[in-house]
Amino acid sequence: MYLLKTPCIVGGLFSNLKYKVEFFRENILINDNVMECCRIYKVEKLVSCLSTCIFPDKTTYPIDETMVHNGPPHTSNEGYAYAKRMIDVLNRCYKVPDEYGCNFTSVIPTNIYGKGDNFSIDNGHVLPGLIHKCYKAKQAGEDLHVWGTGSPLRQFIYNVDLGALMIWTMRNYHEVDPIILSVGEEDEVSIADAAKMIASAMNFEGNVVFDTDKVA
């Protein structure tokens, strides 16, 4: 039996800032329960999903998988990020041959978007959140307000493409070290460009305003 673990308590920037303890505790419990059940029932392979927010806030680029534990994550994500980091720690502990020798690993997808997305402004991720904000601004005849300067760069992956990569990982990746599932560095998009592309696609005629006094 193979198992792909995706369940977690997750949200957008607003939720990560507001519910740090809840995100940490709930995700630690989920991780522990799933992993221990996989051990007890002798699951042949477990692949868990991490998140790009686990990487250190102060780091060098390009980022790679060896840098996960090189410093604290951004304070806005610390509850969720530390819980996700613990998956990598537990994978290595369960792998020790003299104790359990479990075949557990993890993937680090970049920002995901696509079919069945969560469009909540409070709990959704970057692209669906911007789409919903743009829709509401258009309906109200108001400007589209985006937190921050718009300068941070992000990579995005379509969820159907990610699904294909997850299947490849399940079949072909055999290391305990996490593996990044992402597009190339050259395909990074700024938040500003993403917001403007969404506004154009939705025929939004208002202004795109960047609230630089708010965290991005």
Q: Which residues are catalytic?
A: 80
**Residue 114 · residue 158 · CB < 8 Å:** yes
DSSP letter (8 states) at residue 157: E
The Cα-based distances of 156 to 1, 47, 114, 170, 182 in angstroms read: 31, 21, 10, 21, 7
Burial 37-75 (b: 16+ CB within 10 A, else e): ebbeeebebbbbbbbbbbbbeeeeeebebeebeeeebee
